[in-house]
Chains A and B, each alone.
Chain A
Amino acid sequence: DGGITQSPKYLFRKEGQNVTLSCEQNLNHDAMYWYRQDPGQGLRLIYYSQIVNDFQKGDIAEGYSVSREKKESFPLTVTSAQKNPTAFYLCASSIARDSQETQYFGPGTRLLVL
């Protein structure tokens, strides 16, 4: 987990509310990623970014949005359009989006719906 921080550790969302999950890295990595983890389903890619001011949709981007205004930060917003947001959210980063590069993960944020 070293070098990548996620906050908060737990987040509660009310119906119709947008919430933002924070991800910060001090590893000087160019690429950053957001995954969603549900029990028994492994990790699914939401969004990824290769470089500042650029990002691409992953496999399950609907109901989510991101920004990449700074190299070290990649916040994820869970919008009201995401009807089933309860999950464990993991942020990762790698030196570059090259296939050989290892992705390193943050400690995660657990999102719960009230």
Chain B
Amino acid sequence: AQSVAQPEDQVNVAEGNPLTVKCTYSVSGNPYLFWYVQYPNRGLQFLLKYITGDNLVKGSYGFEAEFNKSQTSFHLKKPSALVSDSALYFCAVRPGGYSTLTFGKGTMLLVSP
């Protein structure tokens, strides 16, 4: 069975500084990895996904994520944080084939002015 760990419940960063939200996974075979963002009382918005190819994936709103197979990680990054990036971020994984998507518990990102 697949699993996702987001080791930090909350990440604090000052506006303008780089941010990283961590995600590690466990899955049989090649993983398909996703990042979503959720603003208060809203649904999840898709940010980016890794399927195959280049380990650095670029997504919406200036976010990117790096797939590291040896460390089984898929950390979300942004070079310069904005206050408006403050939200709840979810990492999700599913193995190849027909299977369900497994979500991490989420990481709250707080960007201070």
Q: Which residues of A are interface residues toward B (Cβ below 8 A)?
A: 1, 4, 6, 40-45, 48, 58-59, 88, 90, 92, 97-100, 102-108, 110
Q: How many A-B residue pairs have CB under 8 A?
A: 58
Residues of A within 8 A of B103 (CB): 42-44
**Are A108 and B100 in contact, CB atoms less than 8 angstroms apart?**
no
One of A58, A100, A107 near B100 (C-beta < 8 A): A58
**With A45-B100, A90-B43, A99-B95 already in contact, 16 other A-B pairs whose C-beta atoms are closer than 8 Å:** A1-B45, A40-B9, A40-B105, A40-B106, A41-B105, A42-B106, A58-B100, A92-B44, A99-B32, A99-B97, A99-B99, A102-B46, A103-B46, A105-B43, A106-B43, A108-B41
Instruction: Show 20 residue pairs from A and B whose CB-CB distance is below 8 angstroms, ordered by the A residue.
Output: A1-B45, A4-B43, A40-B9, A41-B105, A45-B101, A88-B41, A90-B43, A92-B44, A97-B98, A99-B32, A99-B95, A100-B32, A100-B49, A102-B34, A105-B36, A105-B43, A105-B44, A105-B45, A107-B43, A108-B43
Range class of the B interface residue count: 20 to 34
Which residue of B is nearest A104, CB measured?
A: B46
Residues of chain B from 83 to 113 with CB closer than 8 A to chain A in the complex = 90, 94-101, 103-106
